Structure 1
Amino acid sequence: MKLHRPHLLKHTLNVANRVRQTASVAGLSLLRVAQGEKPDAMLLKETFEQLGTTYIKIGQFIASTPSLFPRQYVMAFQDCLDQTTPLPFSYIKKVLQEELEINGKTLDELFLTIDETPLASASIAQVHAATLSNGEEVVLKVQKPNVKTIMQTDLGVLHAVTKVLEKLMPSMRFASLAPIIDEIRLRMLAETDFIAEAQNIRDFQQFLTVSNNTRVVAPKVIERLTTKRVLTMSRLHGVSMIDEAAMRQYCSDPAQVMADTLNTWFASLMLCNSFHADLHAGNLMLLNDGRIGFLDFGIVGTLKAESWRACLAMMQALQDGDYRAMAQAMVDMEMTHDKDNVDVDALASDVAKMMQVVAADDKVLTSGKPFNTKEQADELNKMMLEIVEVGKRHGIHFPRDFALLAKQMLYFDRFLQVLAPDMDMFSDNRIQILAQDNTLADAASQNKDLPKLVS
């Protein structure tokens, strides 16, 4: 769409200002290196956090994509923080007025109250509690200023830099950096469209309805008050699912709550358009009425049914110590476009050697216990990185959504440490990893409205 002169001038100034800010932060980091500081992964992480929105998201992408980045960077960015200084309410109010005051309705007519103190403030949006004119409690997710301009500017600069690097250093072409930046652009810009996030919520709610799941709930989207820059949802009240004492106010068995959570999520892999890929402690809660709340559907993934089955086969083979089966599952997961040329026996041999090294480094793996302590969870993360590195040597590449799935399972592992330390998510009889229930299977095959498996 063609910009009018005032808007074009403002856009140009915003771009110029962003380039200046980026140059300033990058210059300070280079100065630190010149003064003798090691240019390592931690320095890059600190620089990214100072650069804000785009670079924080890129850091999170690095952390969730071990197939594309060196181990030290993946590990460094695991805790890349997406918390920012709150914006003044005057800005939030201005956006709400621009987006919601239509058909002559003012904010005072739409809302009884809007809490000026934010519930949360991240790189893309700020969240405020509010009450609708009918008394319903809601939360308002409001996009921060110039987010799209900042992202497009940053990613445009990065894309140009990678093109130059690939020309100056032909060896860089193997890493395919430019396509990676393009993928990051698509995914990050999608996060700035709250209409898309609202659809993710509706898809999940449809899945809950068709599968007759009354144990789990997602916020209701208030359609008339949702735009690309503002997402209005019903407010859910509850407690964090890493606080067992608080949970016992609303349930008698926190372990069963965790089992219900896992069952829902595992079923969504097969029966929903997408799976929630960011269920950390801030996005999962036990509600005051005993139900389980899934929050924030800005980051979702998709996985083919065949890939998920192969993933389960790989994990089962890992537990059984069957490295030939584990190697075959890695190939079956469609992580490679040339699977017929992979030497499965050679891959199995390398996997076995890798596991021997990992086991020798950490006795936890040889304890015979489920991965349910912090040390075991950290070891599982390291092992995933090792598996990826072995796979790369055989031409196998994990798709990003598989990395999102693996990361989410690490989140679940940490929940289990608190709520059910004796539960093994892959062998406990309370957990249905595959949709074995006939009702779900029938619904999947007969109900036209049910989201189909990803093709």
Structure 2
Amino acid sequence: MLKPTLLKKSFNVIQRVGKTATVAGLTGLKVAKGEKMDAYLLKDTFEQLGTTYIKIGQFIASTPSLFPREYVEVFQACLDQTTPLPYSYIEDILNNELAKKGKTLEDIFISIDKTPLASASIAQVHSAVLKNGDHVVLKVQKPNVDTIIETDLGLLYGATKIMDTLAPSLKFASISPIIDEIRLRMSAETDFLQEAKNIDDFQDFLQKTNNQKVVAPKVYHDLSTQKVLVMERLFGVSMIDDVAMRQYCKSPSEVMVDTLNTWFASLTMCESFHADLHAGNLMLLTDGRIGFIDFGIVGKLEPKAWQACVMMMDSFSREDYDSMAHYMIEMGMTDKQNLVNKAVLSADLQRVMKKILAKDSLFIGKTIDKLDTTKLKDHSDEINQMMLEIFEVGKRHGIHFPRDFTLLTKQVLYFDRFMKVLAPELNMFQDKQITIV
């Protein structure tokens, strides 16, 4: 006889398969009746399918080098926050998870704000106040997310075949690496106990290095589970707004130096490094400290990958494409170093990156006083484009990039954006104030 939890999971899997078949069937019926299988219909289908497919939609929106422009533009909507779930769903998860620890909401909280601070495809975040007066944030996994992801990834191979049939213009996109990246990211993002461990590791590093300038939120381990993460709430301002920052610091440039030195040191002194410090996950607190938040996406450093990243990004910052090509080859990212034509690789890199930089009108040719910081936001789409263009050039020359190298390079590009706002006079790789090794 099946155990209740296994029976429930089996039911959820069947229910998910049924929903997927229904949504796909309805889309197929629309096409059969003459409706064009365009970007809008595909986006609507993905949104109906939910979590996993929204992640794919986000990938499409962030990779203009791989997908047709119309798909990239339409799927931009997937980059926004998802529609919040009613608080009743979140309350059910909280009750179920806390019951495992023998606790109730009434035992622990004075209040929980029913309006979420944020809502993404996997989790929803609410502010709350504990009985002892502590202000906290609750990161709550949405209902049945783990089953949905597991089932979706199992069905995804078949779904890509359907996509090839219904949307032949997407055939040139390599689907399997997308699925693999989504699998890795989602596995990390759905284990909140692992995220709690990542935070603990970073805090141990701060303590060992006597770093009092940077902080990560305290985790309430006695209240946290794999599906609920209870953390200290940090109050501050975004580090893309230098005007707001000056309320709490003398120099945004010094704050940026402290941020970089802390992160670079963590690469070799932590078990993992924070790999997603974009504008939403880095803040200057009202007490002047720097807050690192959301440790759901981390990487594990290979010294070879880090050295390659440093050399490559230094070359990129100087627009020295010969050196960039040299380090891509010499750092062992290809098994056929002697067969790679460095001059051709350099020319390819220069052509692609010049094109990207020419489009980067928000920053190129503008100084800090001319920047409208109110228009700045998370530029993950542009950064993804840079990364994918580099990778595509590399692949054409037989060069392959490990996942952690991708995370390292992408984070350095995030920091490059911060520096253009906060410390345009500094060079990340050459300034003596910044220690990168």
Alpha-carbon shift at residue 287 of structure 1 (Å): 0.8
Q: Distance in 2 between matches of 1:358 and 1:112?
A: 51
Decide whether aligned partners of structure 1 residues 359 and 365 sit closer, same or farther in structure 2, where only a CA change above 3 A counts.
Answer: farther
Deviation at 1:404? 2.7
CA distance in 1, matches of 2:413, 2:313: 13
Compute the displacement of 1:146 (Å): 0.5
- Name the aligned partner's letter for residue 428 of structure 2: M
Q: Is the aligned partner of 1:302 residue 2:329?
A: no
Provide closer, same or farther for how the CA distance between residues 147 and 288 of structure 1 changes in structure 2, counting only shifts above 3 A: same
Give the corresponding residue for 2:321: 323
8 Å CA contact retained: 1:82, 1:123 = no
Is the CA contact (8 Å cut-off) linking 2:329 and 2:340 kept in structure 1?
Answer: yes
Structure 2, unmatched stretches of 5+, are: 165-169
1-structure distance, mates of 2:304, 2:71: 27
CA–CA distance in structure 2, aligned partners of residues 256 and 188 of structure 1: 35
What are the equivalent positions in structure 2 for 1:210-359 lying under 5 Å apart?
Answer: 210-352=208-350, 354=352
Structure 1 pair 212/340, CA: closer, same or farther in 2 (3 Å)?
A: farther
Cα deviation per residue 1:364-399 (whole Å; 9 max; x = unaligned)? 9997999x978xx89876554433222111111222
Tell me which of 94, 106, 109 is aligned to 1:108: 106
How many positions carry a matched residue from both structures?
422
Q: 1:46, CA displacement in angstroms?
A: 5.6
TM-score by length of 2: 0.80
With over 3 angstroms needed to count, the CA separation of the structure-2 counterparts of 1:153 and 1:363, relative to structure 1, is: closer
- Opposite residue 130 of structure 1, the aligned amino acid is A
Distance 1:25 1:415, change over 3 A: farther
The one of 386, 400, 403 equivalent to 2:403 is: 400
CA distance in 2, matches of 1:361, 1:160: 37
Answer whether contact 2:274 2:298 (CA < 8 A) is retained. Answer: yes
Residue pair 1:99, 1:230 contacting (<8 A) in 2 also: yes
Q: Distance in 2 between matches of 1:224 and 1:382?
A: 41
Report if the CA contact (8 A) 1:66-1:388 is conserved: no
User: In 2 relative to 1, CA 284–137 (structure 1 residues): closer, same or farther, beyond 3 Å?
Assistant: same
Deviation, 1:82, is 5.4
Deviations 1:330-371 (A, max 9, x none): 12344334445434344335445556766888999997999x
Question: CA shift at 1:200, angstroms?
Answer: 0.9
Structure 1 residue 231: Cα displacement: 0.8
User: Structure 1 residues 383, 28: CA separation in 2 closer, same or farther (over 3 Å shift)?
Assistant: same
- Alpha-carbon RMSD across the aligned residues, in angstroms, is 4.0
Matched residue SS, 2:261: helix
- Give 3-state SS (helix, strand or coil) of 1:118's partner: coil
Output the CA distance in 2 between the equivalents of 1:187 and 1:358. 26
2:416 to 390, 413, 418: 413
Give the letter for the 2:400 counterpart.
Answer: H
TM-score relative to the length of structure 1: 0.77
**Quick one: distance in 1 between partners of 2:307 and 2:112?**
46
Which position in structure 2 is the counterpart of 1:39?
38
Measured at CA, do residues 139 and 355 of structure 1 come closer, stay the same or move farther in structure 2, by a change above 3 Å? Answer: closer
Q: 1:124 to 1:103 in 2, by over 3 A?
A: closer
CA distance in 2, matches of 1:320, 1:250: 33
Which runs of 5 or more residues in structure 1 are unaligned? 167-171, 436-455
